[in-house]
């Protein structure tokens, strides 16, 4: 998928791991000995044919960046266009909370990319996914944004999602309401838990970033 740019978001990770994240970001937390949490997102992207990945890094990402390197462990360095690009935290991103400001500080980088679509994924959510299916669904439905979610039933009511969002959808699969939820199922009612992963046109993302920052400057 040469026309899809992957981006792993290390900003605004829910830090509930106490001393494990005192000097590292959540994506750098070890998993099963040799692995790190971020490995799942990188493997999903690589196995889906995404060749170029950007890391939206935070100020505790040193050990993670050392672990990821140039992405050769995931085969991301096999082409001249591939590899891993790090977008370091800027003064603006540190000064104002939120990944929106971080993205805005690197807007020139996004504008200079050539990929038509972007796939944004977190570093702290563990799942196995072939993103080719998700992107095909996105293109087939001519959607502006396609969101990945997990439908949880009553049998999953003991699952612990942490800070997450429940998506209420129409019969056509459109998101009509988003509500925060800490546990996966505070009730026995089924929920659609947002996995913080989306497909969006790069040009649309840039447009939304610029519009949002304009509103922020105006104080709206």
Report if residue 135 sits inside a domain: yes
Question: Which pLDDT score is estimated for 158?
Answer: 61
Q: Which domain holds residue 51?
A: 4-148+197-218
- Greater confidence (36 vs 115) lies with 115
Alpha helix positions (H), the chain:
38-47, 62-68, 91-95, 99-105, 107-112, 131-140, 202-218
Question: Which pLDDT score is estimated for 153?
Answer: 76
Contact, 175 vs 189, CB < 8 A? Answer: no
The mean of the pLDDT values for the chain is 81
Report if residue 156 sits inside a domain: no
Q: Confidence class of residue 91 from pLDDT cuts 50, 70 and 90?
A: low
- CATH number of the domain enclosing 97: 3.90.550.10
Which residue shows structure tokens 């959540």?
26
- Mean pLDDT, to the nearest integer, of 186-204? 84
Contact, 129 vs 42, CB < 8 A? Answer: no
Report if residue 136 sits inside a domain: yes
Q: Confidence class of residue 33 from pLDDT cuts 50, 70 and 90?
A: confident
Report if residue 174 sits inside a domain: no
Contact, 199 vs 134, CB < 8 A? Answer: yes
Report if residue 38 sits inside a domain: yes
The total of structural domains in the chain comes to 1
Report if residue 32 sits inside a domain: yes
Report if residue 154 sits inside a domain: no
Q: What percent of the chain has pLDDT over 90?
A: 34
Single pTM value for the model: 0.84
Contact, 82 vs 69, CB < 8 A? Answer: no
pLDDT at 40 over 80: yes
Report if residue 188 sits inside a domain: no
Question: Which pLDDT score is estimated for 102?
Answer: 81
pLDDT at 97 over 60: no
Question: Which pLDDT score is estimated for 167?
Answer: 93
Q: What digits encode the pLDDT tens for the residues 8-23?
A: 987 665 666 677 767 7
pLDDT at 81 over 80: no
> What are the φ/ψ torsions at residue 11 (nearest 5 degrees)?
-80, 150
Question: Which pLDDT score is estimated for 72?
Answer: 80
């Amino acid at each position: 998928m040469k026309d899809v740019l992957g981006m792993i978001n290390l900003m605004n990770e829910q830090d509930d791991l106490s001393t494990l994240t005192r000097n590292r970001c959540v994506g750098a937390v070890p998993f099963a000995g040799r692995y790190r949490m971020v490995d799942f997102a990188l493997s999903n992207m690589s196995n889906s044919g995404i060749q170029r990945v950007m890391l939206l890094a935070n100020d505790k990402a040193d050990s993670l960046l050392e672990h990821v390197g140039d992405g050769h462990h995931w085969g991301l360095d096999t082409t001249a266009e591939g590899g891993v690009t790090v977008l370091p935290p800027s003064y603006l991103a540190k000064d104002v909370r939120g990944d929106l400001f971080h993205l805005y500080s690197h807007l020139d980088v996004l504008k200079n990319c050539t990929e038509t679509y972007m796939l944004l994924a977190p570093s702290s959510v563990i799942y196995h996914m072939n993103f080719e299916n998700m992107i095909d669904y996105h293109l087939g439905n001519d959607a502006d944004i396609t969101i990945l979610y997990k439908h949880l039933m009553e049998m999953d009511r003991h699952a612990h999602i942490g800070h997450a969002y429940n998506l209420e959808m129409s019969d056509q699969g459109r998101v009509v309401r988003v509500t925060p939820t800490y546990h996966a199922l505070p009730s026995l009612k089924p929920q659609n838990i947002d996995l913080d992963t989306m497909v969006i046109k790069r040009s649309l993302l840039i447009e939304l970033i610029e519009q949002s920052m304009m509103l922020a400057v105006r104080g709206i």
